[in-house]
Structures are given as structure tokens and as C-alpha cells.
Amino acid sequence: MANIMIRQNGAGGLVFYLPKRDLEASIESIEFDTPEKWGGELKLDNGGSYYIDPVARPARLPISVRARRLGAAED
């Protein structure tokens, strides 16, 4: 599992950042996106996918969380 950061970009979309690999990618979809349950599988615009344990939607971003890689395709 890796420590990642999720932040919001200027257009209102979510951005995934993995400091260990200096990987930054837009999040195309998030499995759970309700106030009570936020997280699950994250699909990135580079073809990769990660999983974060669902939590209540954070009050503000950026947020640092632990993530597990599900699929490859990273640049």
C-alpha cells in the first residue's frame, strides 16, 4: 500500500498524486461518491486503478490516504 494525495483541480475534477513515483493523474471515476461513503476503486486517466478504503466524504481536499494498486498502466 502506498500513501497518496487526492486534491481538486481548477476545473473541479479530482487529481491523484503518488509522491514516491512522482505520478500525477486525473481521476476519471470513483466507485463511491456519496457523503456517507466516499472511495473504493479509483480509475485514472492513464489506465491505472487504485483502491482506497471507503470513508465519509472529506470536508475538504487535499487529503492523504493509503491506496492499493489494482491495475497497471502508469507512466
Convert the pLDDT of each residue in 23-35 to its tens digit: 999 999 999 999 9
Distance between CA 30 and CA 53 in Å, rounded? Answer: 12
Distance between CA 14 and CA 55 in Å, rounded? Answer: 16
pLDDT truncated to tens, each residue of the chain (75 aa)?
899 999 999 999 999 999 999 999 999 999 999 999 999 999 999 999 999 999 999 999 999 999 999 976 654
Residue 9: closest CA among 18, 1, 21, 17:
17
**Topology adopted by domain 2-71:** OB fold (Dihydrolipoamide Acetyltransferase, E2P) (2.40.50)
> What are the domain boundaries of the chain?
2-71
pLDDT at position 75 is: 47
pLDDT at position 73 is: 60
Q: HSE (CB half, 13 Å, CA atoms) of 58?
A: 13
- The whole-model pTM stands at 0.89
